[in-house]
């Protein structure tokens, strides 16, 4: 595997020196997309937020800023991401507003009916069994809770299709794929918004 291919494969589960580079790059490179996604949130005062696939922790930090009275639990299945996200949010972790821990979305070991809002930025491409994972998110959300998915790819853009071929375990999904899986997992209302000039999508689903 060449260096470039090795580097881009760090998107799935960052490890080692290249993983640290990838995490830093994701924090900055995905910021505009993540903020665009967050602009769609209609949730006014979520007490408990779950950020799934938290990466380097930048989006968890933004959620803490957006909702100053909320607590955020950030999970990732990469130990390196957990380490980096905890460091990025060290003050919030120290104050008790943020918990960063290792976790697998295909088998969440979190309390059921506990979160008002769950978020997933640039991560569902790597979830094993979309409907099963969505059902796990559904399980831990409170009744009426919101699940927001923000993807850089709508599953149709050629640039992302090239990366899908190079990155092990990556699978692109269209908005229709995501909506179907969400409804199969139990979510009732699903709404998708496409960026006006980019292949970005934001999907909001309600339990």
Residues 178, 173: Cα–Cα separation, whole Å: 6
The more confidently predicted of residues 165 and 107 is 107
Structure confidence at residue 8 (pLDDT): 62
pLDDT digits 0-9 by tens, 106-152: 999 999 999 999 999 999 999 999 999 999 999 999 999 999 999 99
pLDDT band at 203 (very low <50, low <70, confident <90, very high): very high
Query: Residue 201's domain spans which residues?
Result: 3-206
190, β-bridge pairs: 205
Quick count: other Cβ atoms within 10 Å of Cβ 66? Answer: 15
Mean pLDDT of 162-178: 90
- What radius of gyration, in Å, describes the C-alpha atoms of the chain? 16
In degrees, rounded to 5, the angle at the alpha carbon of residue 89 between the alpha carbons of residues 46 and 207 is: 25
Residue 98, C-beta contacts closer than 8 angstroms, at least 6 positions apart:
60, 64, 71, 72, 73, 74, 89, 92
Task: Look up the CATH number of the domain holding residue 169.
Answer: 3.40.50.150
- pTM reported for the whole predicted model: 0.92
pLDDT band at 7 (very low <50, low <70, confident <90, very high): low
Residue of 203, 173, 202 lying closest to 187 (CA atoms):
203
Structure confidence at residue 31 (pLDDT): 93
By three-state DSSP, how is residue 48 classified? strand
Count how many domains the chain has: 1
Structure confidence at residue 169 (pLDDT): 84
* Percent of the chain's residues with pLDDT above 90: 77
46 burial type by CB count under 10 A (0-12 exposed, 13-18 middle, 19+ buried): buried
């Amino acid at each position: 595997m060449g260096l470039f291919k090795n580097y881009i494969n760090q998107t799935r589960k960052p490890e080692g020196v290249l993983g640290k580079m990838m995490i830093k790059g994701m924090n900055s490179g995905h910021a505009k997309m993540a903020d665009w996604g967050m602009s769609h949130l209609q949730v006014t005062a979520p007490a408990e937020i779950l950020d799934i696939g938290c990466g380097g922790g930048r989006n968890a930090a933004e959620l803490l800023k957006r909702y100053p009275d909320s607590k955020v639990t950030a999970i990732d299945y990469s130990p390196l991401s957990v380490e980096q996200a905890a460091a990025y949010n060290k003050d919030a972790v120290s104050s008790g507003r943020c918990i960063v821990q290792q976790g697998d979305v295909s088998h969440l070991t979190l309390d059921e009916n506990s979160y008002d809002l769950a978020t997933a930025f640039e991560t569902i491409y790597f979830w094993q069994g979309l409907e099963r994972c969505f059902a796990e998110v559904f399980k831990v959300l409170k009744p009426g809770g919101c699940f927001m998915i923000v993807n850089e790819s709508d599953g149709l853009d050629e640039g992302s299709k090239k990366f899908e071929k190079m990155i092990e375990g990556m699978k692109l999904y269209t908005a229709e794929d995501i909506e179907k899986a969400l409804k199969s997992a139990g979510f009732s209302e699903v709404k998708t918004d496409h960026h006006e000039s980019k292949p970005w999508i934001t999907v909001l689903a309600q339990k």
